[in-house]
Amino acid sequence: MTPLLIAQIGLTLFVFVMLLNSAAIMVYVERKVAARLQQRLGPTLAGPRGMLQPLADIVKLMFKEELRPAASDWLLFSLAPIISATCAFAAFAVVPFGGSTTLFGLVPDGLPLQVADVNVAVLVIFAIASMGVYGIVLAGWSSNSKYSLLGALRSSAQMISYELSYGMALASVLVIANSLSLTDVVNRQAGAWLGVIPRWYVFLQPIGFLIFMTAGIAETNRAPFDFPEAEQELVAGYHTEYSSMRFAMFFMAEYINMVTVSAVAADLYLGGWHGPLLPESLGWVWFLIKIAAILFFYVWMRWTLPRYRYDQLMAFGWKVLLPLSVVNLIATSAAVLYFGL
Partner 1 sequence: MTAETVLFYVFAAVAVVASMLVIAQRNPIHSVLLLIASFGALSGLYVLLEAPFVAVIQIIVYAGAIMVLFLFVVMLLNAPHEETGHDLAVHPLLRPGPLRVGGVLAAALVVELVWALTAHGGESGAFPSGAVSSVAAIGRSLFRDYSFQFEVTSVLILVAMVGAVVLASRGPTGRAR
Which residues sit at the interface with partner 1, rule CB under 8 A? 73, 76, 118-120, 123-124, 126-127, 130-131, 133-134, 137-138, 141, 149, 153, 156-157, 159-160, 163, 180
Alpha helices in the chain (DSSP H): 3-37, 53-62, 74-91, 121-142, 146-177, 182-187, 201-204, 206-219, 231-234, 244-269, 283-304, 310-315, 322-339
Cβ proximity to partner 1, 52 vs 123, nearer residue = 123
Round to whole Å and give the CA distance between 317 and 162: 6
The total of other beta-carbon atoms located within 10 Å of residue 80's CB is: 28
Q: How far is the CB of 79 from partner 1 (least distance, A)?
A: 9
The total of other beta-carbon atoms located within 10 Å of residue 168's CB is: 24
Cβ proximity to partner 1, 101 vs 155, nearer residue = 155
Cβ proximity to partner 1, 134 vs 286, nearer residue = 134
Cβ proximity to partner 1, 11 vs 116, nearer residue = 116
Q: How far is the CB of 214 from partner 1 (least distance, A)?
A: 20
Q: How far is the CB of 131 from partner 1 (least distance, A)?
A: 6
Q: How far is the CB of 132 from partner 1 (least distance, A)?
A: 10
Q: How far is the CB of 120 from partner 1 (least distance, A)?
A: 5
Largest Cα span, the chain: 66
- Give, in order, the Cα–Cα distances in Å from 318 to each of 77, 99, 125, 324: 32, 38, 23, 10
Cβ proximity to partner 1, 107 vs 177, nearer residue = 177
DSSP 128-184: HHHHHHHHHHHHHHHTT-HHHHHHHHHHHHHHHHHHHHHHHHHHHHHHHHT-S-HHH
> Of 75, 31, 21, which is closest to residue 53 (Cα–Cα)?
31
Cβ proximity to partner 1, 136 vs 324, nearer residue = 136
Position 140, amino acid:
G
For residues 182 and 163, the answer to whether their CB atoms sit within 8 Å is no
**Which residues share a beta bridge with 192?**
198
Cβ proximity to partner 1, 73 vs 233, nearer residue = 73
Q: How far is the CB of 239 from partner 1 (least distance, A)?
A: 18
Q: How far is the CB of 151 from partner 1 (least distance, A)?
A: 13
